[in-house]
Amino acid sequence: QVQLVESGGGLVQAGGSLRLSCAASGSIFSINTMGWYRQAPGNQRDLVAAITSGGTTNYADSVKGRFTISRDNAKNTVYLQMNSLKPEDTAVYYCMLRVVVNTYWGQGTQVTVSS
């Protein structure tokens, strides 16, 4: 069984920074993709950033240049450094792990950016 535990959300003023972390545990194949999605009230869950076990990254256009995704394969942990935060970044952020055809989700962590 795979578990994802997120941490690092909170309240920050516009222009500030936050760092999210997500640790995966359980039976995890070494070749996988980890990432972050977010969902604001009334909206669908959208990709923020993803990173493969080989280090290839993918970002939503809205966060390019402001957010950086990284991972520690030895710890099965993915990070999201969020800088220059904007009120429109406010959402619940979900950690994601994809292994072949299986996708696992964390419980979500709230990020609120005040103007």
Which CA distances in Å does 4 have to 10, 11, 29, 104? 18, 22, 14, 8
Query: In this predicted structure, what is the pLDDT of residue 92?
Result: 98
Query: In this predicted structure, what is the pLDDT of residue 104?
Result: 96
- Residue 102 to residue 115: CA distance in whole angstroms: 38
Query: In this predicted structure, what is the pLDDT of residue 62?
Result: 98
Query: In this predicted structure, what is the pLDDT of residue 64?
Result: 98
Mean pLDDT of residues grouped by 10 in the chain (115 residues)? 94 98 90 95 96 97 98 95 98 96 95 97
Query: In this predicted structure, what is the pLDDT of residue 100?
Result: 86
SS3 state at 103: strand
Least Cα distance to 12 among 104, 101, 98, 109 occurs for 109
